[in-house]
Amino acid sequence: MSLSKRNNRKKDSSGNIEIGNIYKIEADEENDITPPDGRISWHKHFVVIGKAQDGSLYGCVVFDSKINKEYLTPGTEDFYIPIEKGSYSFIDHDSYLECLKLKPATAKKLLQGKFEGKLTDTDLEKAMSLVKMSPRHSFVLLKAYGIL
C-alpha cells in the first residue's frame, strides 16, 4: 500500500471536519438515507461539501454503487460522478458520487464514523459544481451550508 493511501486511512482524531473529508458512517433516515431490506441503518461514505455557520450540521454527497434510475427524473443522472474502482482506497468496484441531493450529517455522527481520507481536488471541484446546479438545492440551502 502506498504511503498516500496509508495516510488516507488514518483516523481523523483532530475533530477538525473539513470540506472534502470522507467518512464512512452508519447512515439512516436522519441522513436522508433509506436503508435497504427494512434495516434501521446502512453504512455509507459521506463527503463533506458544506457546513452550517455554527458547525452543527454538514451537507454531504455520498458514494453509491449504482444509479437507481427508477427513482430519478430523466436527466438527473447527470448529477452522478463516475468513480473508477481503485480511485479511493475503499472503492473496490466502479461507483458513483451522488451530487443530486445533499445529505445532512452532524459533526458527532461524522466523527463517530471512520475517516477514509479526502476527495481529490478534481472530484471535489466537479462535486461542488454539480451540487450548485442541482434542481434539488435551493439558494437558501446552499447559502445555509456556506456553499454560495
pLDDT digits (tens, 9 = 90+) for 101-131: 999 999 999 999 999 999 999 999 999 999 9
What is each CA distance from 133 to 9, 78, 127, 130, in whole angstroms?
A: 31, 11, 10, 5
Give strand pairing partners of 107. none
Q: pLDDT of 9-68, one tens digit each? A: 344 445 799 999 999 999 999 999 988 888 888 899 999 999 999 988 999 999 999 888
Decide if pLDDT at 6 tops 60.
Answer: no
- Asked whether 49 and 127 are in contact (CB, 8 A), the reply is yes
- CA 66/CA 82 separation, integer angstroms: 9
Domain boundaries, the chain: 3-144
Burial-class residue 76 by CB neighbours within 10 Å (0-12, 13-18, 19+).
Answer: middle
CATH T-level fold of 3-144: SH3 type barrels. (2.30.30)
φ/ψ region of 15 (left if φ > 0, alpha if ψ in -120 to 50, else beta) reads left
Please tell me the predicted confidence (pLDDT) of residue 75.
84
Looking at residues 91-102, what average pLDDT do you find? 96
Residue among 44, 51, 138, 57 at smallest CA distance from 97: 44
Please tell me the predicted confidence (pLDDT) of residue 88.
96
DSSP string spanning 54-110?
TSS-EEEEEEESS--GGGS-TTGGGGEEEE-TTSSTT--S-EEEEEEEEEEE-HHHH
- CA 20/CA 117 separation, integer angstroms: 8
Please tell me the predicted confidence (pLDDT) of residue 44.
96
